Structure 1
């Protein structure tokens, strides 16, 4: 004799069209697709109703006639089973929901009217690899968690939860927690001037008259943390909305605001260095080329292919063989980013992007560039250019050409710098057209942050 098991969690009720849902957070029970559970309204007694709301962590919930709590969250002794098959399961007077995800209640058998975890036999094993450890316990306040070391922190996803250098490098690309906090202390005073556009505002009064303050769900440091996660890991706004427990539109607004804020703030700092500063920090590998002031190369970011043919031809890069955005980036010999151009269409030539970037006005005759062989710019730059030489059907290079070729090898440092920028995973994906309005700000901020996130590119 065989028994047929029916997956009741997806069984649709034929005798009822009820569509009640359980209002307990993280509970997905629905009366429309589960005929085993019962759904109970809130009690009329104010004290008992307050206990219900406190236990389910919905103190500020607005109750309606359709607000229900399913029988999963009650003990079996609190439920009165119906006397007939067509009867309705009821609750005893004073019954309170006590079984939830956050107090380690896990239903073991979804085919029972009340899910109860069966008792395990008392057995002893050398190792129990299936047993789940419980490193975190709930504090008396539902909004806080006590870690193994006794530290209490907010249960929401926020920067406060991560204090190890490994986590900070993973989420923000900063070398350590100290690097991140040092950078935050520099920009924190300017964050007080950020204006948020929202419908949730509060009006205050000062000596100068009334003022309007926009309420935000996240603290400024957590908004900065959200933006860095978006830039570093390339997570979708919906994913970030679930992590930070805010609306997806709020995530998009925070990303947009902080992209322009950091673009304006970091872009206002002059990163082009004088010859004396570059000479004082020049590493020993550049001793043969003491006049080198900047190493230039182009960085390309893969973008979505446009539908019109004429736009596709403008954005198609022959070097990458795909549609890209293209920008020029410059590095000082010691590894600091000293020049970042705006992004252009991928079909633009290296010579044209050099002329449009504005770097020519910064160069002096006493300076020298190290560039790739594809940069045919000797006629348009007002300084010396170091690049590789080629045999061109000759048997050997001359001594000056050998020296120039050795200088071209130093261009590998700017390639490493570009890889540091591309470690921001947002540039490892295809940039959609929806980001075309802010991709230039995101790219510039990612390039400028390299000066703050990492140690020296070239060791002295």
Structure 2
């Protein structure tokens, strides 16, 4: 059976000896509709015998891969015809090269189908020329309704024969296509580098540290491996991969980005960001925190004691600090935190760190007005101390007597300490011995480490993260603080072992 290409102006036919291929229209409704739109025949629908020849594909054949530019035909060439009333006009201004149009259309289709579309302003004809070409094309049929053979304006004086092309033209267009493909690859590499994709993080440790606080992609992958089995049951209407869910949550903790900002970055709604962070914090609270935050034995502490403390405090068991976090809005009567009175707008936490810099204890949030003594006695910290332990702090905390009651000793290393402190007001750093100055600096680094690494702990805390779970009566921000401490313990310590 002889088939003729259905594209208007294309006279290719399946005859013996032809090297062309002729393709049926696809069965897939979406792809079939895209082929019909590409043929661009108003009100026309393909029949069973309708065929499209291979000249309308960039590579000369159709490709069934949706990512290929030849998934849909994109090469359609037609030389413009001119109305008799326009013959007197300057034909040079309206001439469009068939081959040039085909090559440029192919290049532009390739770029747009690969997601890197650009306007080929210098290579394509102007809009005015395009409009004239469209007008001329619409008048390409004669009075009898028969299609006329496309004839260029330069060929009319030579018996209607088409003009010959310059021998150098194909090489120029091939060079142009190579240049465009090279630019396309460069654009793809640039987009991948700026994107929040797995590939870009896998090859860039500095990017991992900046966005997540973790030291490298291997640690990130390890956390993902630990959490992945517990993420299977989560229903996420928006297609965020497990990698994206974890990355979004770590960016929220690390950089304290607003939910709206993260929604723009990941292309989701603000509500999706909030739900994702809450869900991931719950998963990490039950899976990661028990594994990473624990109180070490005295033997382990002494075995790895930093050199800064070996000579001065060999029995140092923990470095403590109390810090406050501001809430975005005061707590209401229906959502009180640990006995806080209505209107309270700060939370207070006690955090304990081993001399090596890992977090070994973190309390639940208490009202900001609670004293250090009440917080220490109510959070369970004192019960972990053993007789003879030394507790260090870089500021005066009024828990010296409570610590002494456990047989331990509280030492304040800051300049503004009170009773039992290593420094006092008016004492310059030059008056302090090198050993004690080293201790002070060591304690200051450890205390500031967690809050500097995860900015969300500095507040203010948004309302969705101050709610309490009805089942456990544990407040979401308490879990966030615990998760930040667990993540901190997976990082390279701010006080590496000497």
Query: Same fold per TM (> 0.5)?
Result: yes
SS at match of 1:299: strand
- Structure 1 residues 113, 358: CA separation in 2 closer, same or farther (over 3 Å shift)? farther
Q: What is the alpha-carbon root mean square deviation over aligned residues? A: 4.9
Out of 224, 230, 241, the position equivalent to 1:193 is 230
Deviations 1:40-74 (A, max 9, x none): xx9x966233789xxxxxx99xxxxxxxxxxxxxx
TM-aligned CA deviation for residue 170 of structure 1: 1.4
Out of 454, 468, 481, the position equivalent to 1:443 is 481
Match of 2:446 in 1: 417
SS at match of 1:304: coil
Deviations 1:192-216 (A, max 9, x none): 232545375xxxxxxxxxxxxxxx6
**Is the CA contact (8 Å cut-off) linking 2:230 and 2:283 kept in structure 1?**
no
Aligned-partner Cα distance in 2 for 1:199–1:349: 42
Deviations 1:12-38 (A, max 9, x none): xxxxxxxxxxxxxxxxxxxxxxxxxxx
The alignment status of 1:147 with 2:177, answered yes or no, reads no
**Is the CA contact (8 Å cut-off) linking 1:289 and 1:407 kept in structure 2?**
no
Residues 105-124 of structure 1: pairs in structure 2 closer than 5 A: 105=119
The alignment status of 1:158 with 2:182, answered yes or no, reads no
Out of 49, 55, 74, the position equivalent to 2:37 is 49
**Is the CA contact (8 Å cut-off) linking 1:378 and 1:385 kept in structure 2?**
yes
The alignment status of 1:229 with 2:259, answered yes or no, reads no
Aligned-partner Cα distance in 2 for 1:145–1:218: 24
Out of 369, 376, 379, the position equivalent to 2:398 is 376
- Structure 1 residues 240, 49: CA separation in 2 closer, same or farther (over 3 Å shift)? farther
Out of 310, 327, 330, the position equivalent to 1:306 is 330
SS at match of 1:192: helix
TM-aligned CA deviation for residue 358 of structure 1: 0.7
- Structure 1 residues 316, 336: CA separation in 2 closer, same or farther (over 3 Å shift)? farther
TM-aligned CA deviation for residue 410 of structure 1: 3.1
**Is the CA contact (8 Å cut-off) linking 1:315 and 1:347 kept in structure 2?**
no
Match of 1:272 in 2: 295
SS at match of 1:306: coil
Count of aligned pairs between the two proteins: 332
**Is the CA contact (8 Å cut-off) linking 1:336 and 1:457 kept in structure 2?**
no
**Is the CA contact (8 Å cut-off) linking 2:446 and 2:494 kept in structure 1?**
no
TM-aligned CA deviation for residue 188 of structure 1: 0.8
SS at match of 1:333: coil
TM-aligned CA deviation for residue 243 of structure 1: 2.1
TM-aligned CA deviation for residue 259 of structure 1: 0.8
The alignment status of 1:244 with 2:266, answered yes or no, reads yes
TM-aligned CA deviation for residue 146 of structure 1: 4.1
Aligned-partner Cα distance in 2 for 1:114–1:377: 83
TM-aligned CA deviation for residue 104 of structure 1: 2.2
Question: Is the deviation greater in 240-249 or in 255-264?
Answer: 240-249
- Structure 1 residues 410, 45: CA separation in 2 closer, same or farther (over 3 Å shift)? closer
**Is the CA contact (8 Å cut-off) linking 2:255 and 2:455 kept in structure 1?**
yes
SS at match of 2:231: coil
The alignment status of 1:386 with 2:404, answered yes or no, reads no
**Is the CA contact (8 Å cut-off) linking 1:296 and 1:414 kept in structure 2?**
no
Aligned-partner Cα distance in 2 for 1:405–1:366: 25
TM-aligned CA deviation for residue 183 of structure 1: 4.6
Deviations 1:171-207 (A, max 9, x none): 11223x2xx423532551442232545375xxxxxxx
SS at match of 1:427: helix
Aligned-partner Cα distance in 2 for 1:187–1:104: 38
Unaligned runs of 5+ in 2: 1-29, 41-64, 67-76, 81-104, 131-178, 468-475
SS at match of 1:380: helix
Match of 1:203 in 2: none
TM-aligned CA deviation for residue 412 of structure 1: 4.5
**Is the CA contact (8 Å cut-off) linking 1:421 and 1:446 kept in structure 2?**
yes
Greater fraction of residues in helix: 2
- Structure 1 residues 259, 415: CA separation in 2 closer, same or farther (over 3 Å shift)? farther
Match of 2:210 in 1: 170
Aligned-partner Cα distance in 1 for 2:127–2:220: 56
**Is the CA contact (8 Å cut-off) linking 2:394 and 2:443 kept in structure 1?**
no
Greater fraction of residues in strand: 1
